[in-house]
Amino acid sequence: MTKFCLEFHCHTIYSKDSLTRPEDLVKTCRRKGIDRVVVTDHNTIAGARAAQEIDPELVIVGEEIMTTRGEILAAFVSEEIPKGLTPGETIRRLKDQGAFISVSHPFDRWRSGHWQKQDLLEIVPGVDAIEVYNSRCMLPEFNETAQQFAEMHHLAGTVGSDAHTAFELGQSLMELEPFKGPEGLRSVIRRGIPRVRRSPAWVRLTSRYAVVYKKLKGYK
């Protein structure tokens, strides 16, 4: 059976810590044989929409949303969700539009968007999956704990490169049966085959560079 290679987590220049233009993201995904890519900029869907205009079949509109407790990672987002809402309100708004809901790097305590276990337990009934492998998690235990949590609570897992640069795209992919829309993704996600690799620690410096560069250039 034909498989899709899905990149679930990546960023464009519409994220404060990335300089990847939507056209470069699309070009790189095509070159690397990535069949579907969820563009998940921080608290905006503008970059995903721009990329989707270039290649509607390739690009799925997503968003990485900072809540008051941690970050939510969503796919098939039709209406942008603002940052700073409670997890419950964020999930409610995503469910209202039928989005597929995951949770970014939940146990990576080196990031501001990580979750406390009790807060994560409270939202388990409302999410479709959690991210069990993120290529930018610098310590293996961060991903291992996420995988163990997913198994313990019978949750599906997503994997993603969390690419903030074009060359990171495809570091972590999931091979899936062909699907359409969020319901289709829900129906195949548990049978997905992850292909994961950890990115080198220095890639985090590219995000710091992007933040500084944008400040110097007056980006808003």
Domain of 170, in residue numbers: 4-217
Measured N-to-C along each axis, helices 46-54 and 22-32 cross at an angle, to the nearest 10 degrees, of 50
Q: In sequence order, what are the beta bridge partners of 60?
A: 38
Say what the pLDDT of residue 1 is.
65
Residue 66 · residue 83 · CB < 8 Å: yes
Provide the CATH number for the domain around residue 60.
Answer: 3.20.20.140
Tokens of 86: 């409670």
Distance CA 13, CA 214 (A): 10
Domain count, the chain: 1
Say what the pLDDT of residue 195 is.
98
Regions of the chain short of the pLDDT cut 70: 1, 220
Say what the pLDDT of residue 38 is.
98
- Quick one: the chain helix, strand, coil %, rounded to 5? 35, 20, 40
